[in-house]
Amino acid sequence: MPQSFKKYQLSPSRSIFIKLFLIFLGTAFVLVIVIRGFFFLAIDRNHSFKSDLFKNLTKYSVQLVNEIGTPPNRQRANALAKELGLQFRVHSPQQSWTTDSTLPPISSLRVDHTFSNATTQVGQFRRHPFVILNRADTQYVMFFLHRPFGELPAWSFAVLAGLVAMVIAGSYFAVHRLIRPVQWLTKGVNELGKGQFDYHVPVTSSDELGDLSLAFNEMAMQVRDMIQSRDRLLLDVSHELRSPLTRMKVAVEFIGNTQVKENIQREINELEMMVTELLESERLKSQAGYLARVETDLVALAQDVLNDYTSIGPGVELTAAPSTFSLSLDEQRIRVALRNILENALKFSRSEFGPINVRIEKMTNTVSVSVQDFGQGITQEDQAKIFEPFYRVDPSRTRETGGYGLGLSLVKKIMVAHRGNVRVSSKLGKGSTFILEFPIATKQTHINDSEPK
**Residue range 309-352, pLDDT digits in tens:** 888 878 899 998 898 999 999 898 899 899 889 988 888 888 78
Q: In the structure, what pLDDT confidence band is assigned to residue 302 with cuts at 50, 70 and 90? A: very high
Q: In the structure, what pLDDT confidence band is assigned to residue 41 with cuts at 50, 70 and 90? A: low
Distances (CA, A) of 218 to 191, 198, 232, 309, 355: 15, 11, 21, 49, 50
What pLDDT does 301 receive? 93
CA-based angle 241:247:251, to the nearest 5? 140
Across residues 77-96, what is the average pLDDT? 89
Q: In the structure, what pLDDT confidence band is assigned to residue 451 with cuts at 50, 70 and 90? A: very low
pLDDT in tens, 202-255: 888 777 888 888 898 898 888 888 877 876 776 676 667 777 877 888 888 888
Across residues 370-380, what is the average pLDDT? 90
What is the rounded distance in angstroms from the CA atom of residue 265 to the CA atom of residue 271?
Answer: 10
Beta bridge partners of 369: 360, 436
Least confident of 143-147, 188-192, 381-385: 143-147
CA-based angle 194:196:202, to the nearest 5? 115
Q: List strands edge to edge, sheet with 96-98.
A: 96-98, 87-91, 138-143, 128-135, 120-125
Asked if omega into 314 is within 30° of 0 (cis), the reply is yes
What pLDDT does 42 receive? 63
What pLDDT does 399 receive? 45
Most confident of 14-23, 287-296, 418-427: 418-427
pLDDT in tens, 433-444: 999 999 987 544
Most confident of 80-94, 159-173, 432-446: 80-94
At residue 176, does pLDDT exceed 70?
A: yes
What pLDDT does 154 receive? 67
